[in-house]
Amino acid sequence: MASTGFRRELEQGGNRSWENLKKAEGLKGRASTVQNMNDQHDEQKLLYQELPFRALPGMRRRSFRSEREFPQLRTRSSWANLSRLVKKNGEIKPLLEEEPDERLEPGYTYPLLQSCVVAVLNAFQYGYNTAVTGAMNANVVFPGHSDMLWALCVSSFAVGGPIGSVIGGQLNASLGRKMTMSANSCLFVVSGLVMAFAVDMYMLILGRFLVGIASGAATILVPLYLGELAPPNLRGALGTTYQVAMVLGILVTDLLAFGFAGESDSLTRPGWRLMFGFTGLLGLLQLVLAPLLIESPRWLLNNGNPKDAEETLRNLRQLDNVGEEMDSISAASTSESGNVQSIGDVLRDPSIRLPLLVAVVLQFGQQLSGISAVMFYASSFFQNAGLENPLIGITLVYIVNVLSTIVALMLMDSAGRRPLLIWSMVGMLVSTVILTVGLSNLLPMSSFFSVGGVMSFVWFFEIGLGPIPWLIAAEMFPPKSRTAATSIATMVNWLGLFIIGIVFPTMQRALGNFIYVPFAITLSLTLAFSLKFVPETKGKTLDEIQQEVNHH
């Protein structure tokens, strides 16, 4: 009864205001305007009827529906015109002050988060398998093997990576993001089983090669998927979850090494087999969770399913009105209509030469920054500082790795990609100086300089140069070339990793304590290039970013 009376009072108040308004505007020659206003009056009454459902206690379920629809009713063009009909001091003033409705801006939703969490398990696998061989004692893995066989076991992962990035890119374009990631989970299961039940080093090398293919596919699938699912205002944070998952994988490898890495290779004391087999177990979890993945609306639209794309976008955003974002996706798809470009097409296309160069330089610069060398030397730094168990020191480095990546996630959409990238490399350059001083033993506390240099280098790396190359590579390319272009950038990253693995021992013998000087040079070159060519992509749609890069 109270609700009915309240609505009646509001409606009567609206009628009185309306009559006064008609008298004030009842001038000669305004009959047509009054008629239009009469048509709009019905909508005003509807709004008054909806208002009580936003305020009265004991609201039924339909009230929540009314609350969701109310901002859309307010923003209709007819109500916007009606609100400006009251004159004051000869000037038109709004009847109601329009306030922006922040609820209409896309935010974190359950479907979006669940898809991202399942997707970044692929990145976790990549980080885990990158570090797993370095965390265990090579002498307990089939004792008596040669150094060459162990080197092949370690490097076969990097050989499979570029192959996986190419295969993953092709399947991603034809099968879709969801199906390709599900297939990649199967490959993680198979490779984990091969490594866990290996009967000799050759079978273990095969398993490492297969998991390298799966990890290579993950490096292109996940950043692309996250970039397409996330709204512009959250794309930086969600894109950085790729790097967060990867460094968490590295940390988990190190923690498992405390219990398993040094055990015998017998089946009764599994040890290292459990560490390798963890890949298959996690791959099985990915398969179980695969139905939670939501297909990319961009892929659906580009493959002739506009209705499914719109419905998927509504589900992701939890909004009824996604027309503006659909128009943006559709416009980009229409402007780039035609066959999906292959790697050869991308290399020959002059219109994307600059964004491709930016993506390639950042990926190559990431690997040649010296991060792998710093992680390789980390245990010796802590030993020199007096820490009895270097594994504890390595764990501290990995914890810093994770914490700094989380900080980057929180800053990515507020500080922006470009400032974080620039200051990241500046901090890394300073850290290489500290490391070089520590290695040179020029000061009494040189060992502590080394530890501080390691910590600061890892921190600054994960703030910018770690996550941003993956994020920005998925943002700069038009739909028809995005998959092939990101495949090229990913292959370059794997190539850099392979080069470091090959040349680092020679550099170590030749340069000694000045091993980080070449890395400082490559960092300086990457920094100079970034200052000149890397655009800011924060808060922009993918279409806006592509236009800005093309007109750079």
CA nearest neighbour of 409 among 350, 466, 463, 465: 463
Q: Is residue 100 part of a domain?
A: no
355 burial (CB, 10 Å; 0-12 / 13-18 / 19+) is buried
pLDDT at 439: 77
pLDDT at 35: 52
pLDDT at 507: 85
Q: Do 89 and 149 fall into the same domain? A: no
Q: Is residue 316 part of a domain?
A: no
Give the chain's residues under pLDDT 50.
2, 6, 21, 27-29, 34, 43-103, 264-268
How many domains, in total, are found in the chain?
Answer: 3
pLDDT at 34: 47
* Helix or strand holding residue 79 (H, E): helix 77-82
Q: Is residue 486 part of a domain?
A: yes
Domain region containing 15: 2-95
Dihedral pair phi/psi, residue 93, rounded to 5°: -120, 145
pLDDT at 204: 94
Q: Do 35 and 81 fall into the same domain? A: yes
How far apart are alpha carbons 201 and 198 in whole angstroms?
7
Domain boundary pick from 95, 122, 156: 95
Residue 88 bridge partners (DSSP): 91
pLDDT at 14: 55
Q: Is residue 155 part of a domain?
A: yes
Q: Do 463 and 539 fall into the same domain? A: yes
Q: Do 202 and 116 fall into the same domain? A: yes
Amino acid at site 3: S
Q: Do 503 and 364 fall into the same domain? A: yes
Cα-based angle 118, 123, 125 (whole degrees, multiple of 5): 95
Q: Is residue 326 part of a domain?
A: no
Q: Do 238 and 266 fall into the same domain? A: yes
DSSP 187-223: HHHHHHHHHHT-SSHHHHHHHHHHHHHHHHHHHHHHH
Q: Do 207 and 281 fall into the same domain? A: yes
Q: Do 457 and 550 fall into the same domain? A: yes
Q: Do 148 and 178 fall into the same domain? A: yes
Q: What is the DSSP letter of 349?
A: -
Domain boundary pick from 231, 261, 294: 294
Assign residue 510 the CATH number of its domain: 1.20.1250.20
Task: Kindly report the pTM of this predicted structure.
Answer: 0.72
In a 13 Å sphere around the CA of 288, the CA atoms on its Cβ side amount to 6
Q: Is residue 330 part of a domain?
A: no
Q: Is residue 148 part of a domain?
A: yes
Q: Do 129 and 213 fall into the same domain? A: yes
pLDDT at 499: 84
| Look-up of token digits 């020029």 | 442
Domain boundary pick from 70, 95, 120: 95
Q: Do 403 and 543 fall into the same domain? A: yes
pLDDT at 342: 84
* Helix or strand holding residue 378 (H, E): helix 371-384
DSSP 83-140: TT-EEETTEEE-SS-----GGGS----HHHHHHHHHHHHHHHHHHHHHHHHHHS-GGG
pLDDT at 68: 42
For the stretch 480-537, pLDDT in tens is: 888 888 889 999 998 888 888 778 778 878 888 888 899 999 999 999 999 999 888 8
Q: Is residue 321 part of a domain?
A: no
Q: Do 162 and 283 fall into the same domain? A: yes
